[in-house]
Amino acid sequence: MDHSSQQLEQRDQHSPSGPKRSRITLWVILSLLGIMIAGAGGAFLYVWSSLQPASSGDVQRVEIPRGTSANKVADLLEEQGIIKNAFIFKYYLRFNNQGAHFQAGLYELNPGMDKDAIIAKLNAGDTVAAETIRFTIPEGFTVLQIADKLAADKLIDKQKFLELAATKKTWGGAEAVLSIPDIDTLHQRLEGYMFPETYEMKKGSTEEDIIKRMVTQLDLKLASLPEGWQDVLEEKGLTVHEVLTIASLVEREVVVDAERALVAGVIYNRINDGMPLQIDATVQYSLDKPKERLYEKDLLIDSPYNTYKVSGLPPGPIANPSIDSIIAAIYPEETEYFFYVTKKDGSQTHLFAKTYKEHLKNIDKSNAAAG
């Protein structure tokens, strides 16, 4: 090695650039670590702060619709000031495996509630009772009478209600209404399908909500019938629509429960024998306004519902029958009677006859009882 090379090597060994470079590298690393720690601290502080209770405030009512996702619930809670940050709350739910069991309903929640208390309340379905409306539809009411009653109670717009009842809708999952025939002679499309009962529904329910509830209730009542009732209909060669029609005739003709199946038996006898039913209630249904007493001229009214002029059943029900009348229509009493007349003694029962001659005698007995 020559002299100049030795001098160069010695200069390199004593040069300060090596240690200085190391110090710079260490400083950079420490600076980066400091930034990362500060960033992590800031992020932690942000998350921690976002999960703290919101500022206290008045109780808020939060409506969670059925089928609402946990993420959407978080958004609703932030919108109403129950939580601070929906974005962070969503991740908190996910991290803790929460949100899958939130229940729909109306909740009262306080801004300032702890996040876990909110979650617990939503999981438990700790809802408040919603304001409701309550109404009773008497057995045997027609669609028009139902509309009049609900309108008088200020629960519906009568015109809108009747227009909806006349539309050819399937009404969600309702099944019985599917048996309604597509014919133009029906006076009211949903006649017989709006089950008469006492209902309690959410305040603010629309005309469509009310109709849907009533036709769905008929499905529930039919489901409660004795097992095999549909087989009975098939054996008789009848549809659900025809049975409801018979049931409506029974409903409007009978007051005393013990006579329902007996009157149903008379109806079947007349149909099977080819006799016109000649039921006054069908004439009343044909009139614009029912009368307390029918006259001979009323029996001549030109209507597909006038069973004095048309044979067999009318096009559809003439009222909305009770479950007792429906049962009577499915399981009529076997009888040899073809006629009946109302007793005029105030008992609201009937005199039954096998022949027209006997029937005339019963009419005389009834009139005599009235005197």
- How confident is the model over 243-287, as pLDDT tens digits? 999 999 999 999 999 999 999 999 999 999 999 999 999 999 998
Secondary structure class of 341 (helix, strand, coil) = strand
| Residues whose CB falls within 8 Å of the CB of residue 266, separated by 6 or more in sequence, listed in order | 335, 337, 338, 339, 340, 352
DSSP string, 254-315: --SGGGHHHHHHHHHHHHHTT-----HHHHHHHSSS--SS--GGGGG---TT-TTTS-SS-S
CA–CA separation, 203 and 364 (whole Å): 53
Per-residue pLDDT band at 40 (split at 50, 70, 90): low
Which letter does DSSP use for residue 2 in this model? -
Extents of the domains making up the chain? 60-124, 132-223, 239-370
Q: Which of 42-46, 156-160, 248-252, 346-350 has the lowest mean pLDDT?
A: 42-46
For the chain, give the mean pLDDT.
Answer: 89
The CATH number of domain 60-124, selected from 3.40.50.1110, 3.40.190.10, 3.30.9.40, 3.30.1490.480: 3.30.1490.480
Q: What is the pLDDT of residue 254?
A: 95
The label of the residue with tokens 């015109």 reads 159
What pLDDT score does 8 carry?
42
Over residues 134-146, the pLDDT tens digits come to: 999 999 999 999 9
Q: Has residue 186 got a pLDDT over 70?
A: yes
d(CA 353, CA 340): 6
What mean pLDDT do residues 59-69 have?
91
Predicted confidence band at 9 (pLDDT cuts at 50, 70, 90)?
very low
> Contact, 213 vs 135, CB < 8 A?
no
Mean pLDDT along residues 33-43: 67
Q: Over range 91-98, report the average pLDDT.
A: 92
Q: What is the pLDDT of residues 120-134, one digit of tens each?
A: 999 999 988 778 899
This prediction has a pTM of 0.71
DSSP E strand boundaries for 142-262 = 198-202
3-class state of residue 132 by DSSP: strand
Residue 281 CB partners (closer than 8 Å, separation 6+): 249, 252, 253, 318, 319
Strand ranges in the chain using DSSP code E only, listed in sequence order = 60-64, 105-109, 132-136, 198-202, 339-342, 350-353
Q: What is the spatial distance between Cα 126 and Cα 234, in angstroms, rounded to a whole number? A: 47
Please determine, for residue 1, whether its predicted confidence score (pLDDT) is greater than 60: no
Q: What is the mean pLDDT of residues 1-22?
A: 53
Among 133, 183, 178, which residue's Cα sits nearest to residue 153? Answer: 133
Q: Which long-range contacts (CB under 8 A, 24 or more apart) does 156-162 make?
A: 156/207, 156/210, 157/207, 160/207, 161/207, 161/210, 161/211
First to last CA, the chain: 154
Q: Taking 80 as the threshold, does the pLDDT of residue 107 lie above it?
A: yes
Q: pLDDT value at position 16?
A: 52
240-274 burial string, b = 16+ CB within 10 Å, else e?
bbbbbbbbbbbbbbbeeeebbbbbbbbbbbbbeee
Could you give the dihedral angle defined by the CA atoms of residues 120, 123, 129 and 135, in that order, rounded to the nearest 10 degrees? 180
What confidence tier does 183 reach under pLDDT thresholds 50, 70, 90? very high
The pLDDT value recorded for residue 249 is 98
